[in-house]
Chains A and B, each alone.
Chain A
């Protein structure tokens, strides 16, 4: 079946650092969604992307829909402690039955 490769699996960051994570697939996607999950909570939608090449920001977060339609990345600038959590990408495969395919998540951890 279709798979999304999300990397890195985890990241140790220091406050103030910029962070970058991405998702890639061998399939072409119509939509890319980025979610953040805090421990014990439901995932929260951060950014939705609908067109190849689209670049969208939400505060310190910026996400892009790859031009090949097979990848997407999420950047967080000037990270703060509340950025800690798990970030998931999800995509709707083109010509599919509208199902979302989910990445395995990127865990952001603050360095002590």
Chain B
């Protein structure tokens, strides 16, 4: 158990809908990262927050947004969902920036 929690574990929704994925980092970690992993693909970095502030953006679509709250948990919002958004979404956390990242168990999103 990495200490990073993600909810929900599974999510099935229809095209055009909006969903919110939630992540709680390890105790003491200030950075949260979001990744997308499509079937049999590598990890695509989406976005990073450090102590509530956005610090880096990767290949994140405009339909996707995220935030980190004062208690350091983070939410990833996915809107106007398309079939191609079906993937595993992972959250990771680290103490600072550039440190070892510890991953949560992921949320499997299925868009039908």
Chain A interface residues toward B at CB < 8 A = 30-31, 33, 35, 40-45, 48, 88, 90, 92, 97-100, 102-105
Contact = CB atoms under 8 A, between A and B. Distances in A.
B98 interface: yes
B102 interface: yes
Contacts of B48: 99
Contacts of A33: 100-101
Contacts of A92: 98
A89 B30 CA distance: 23
Interface in B29-51: 42-43, 45, 48
Interface size range on B against A: 20 to 34
B1 to A, nearest CB: 10
A95 to B, nearest CB: 11
6 contacts: A33-B100, A33-B101, A42-B90, A44-B103, A99-B98, A102-B45
Contact of A45 (B90, B98, B100): B100
B46 to A, nearest CB: 12
Interface string B74-112: 000000000000001010100011101111111010000
B51 to A, nearest CB: 13
Given A88-B42, A102-B43, A103-B42, A42 B98 contact: no
A90 B103 CA distance: 13
B2 interface: yes
A105 B97 CA distance: 23
A30 B4 CA distance: 25
B89 to A, nearest CB: 10
B100 A99 contact: no
A104 B48 CA distance: 20
A26 to B, nearest CB: 19
B42 A41 contact: no
B98 A44 contact: no
Contacts of A40: 88, 106, 108
B105 A42 contact: yes
B42 A105 contact: yes
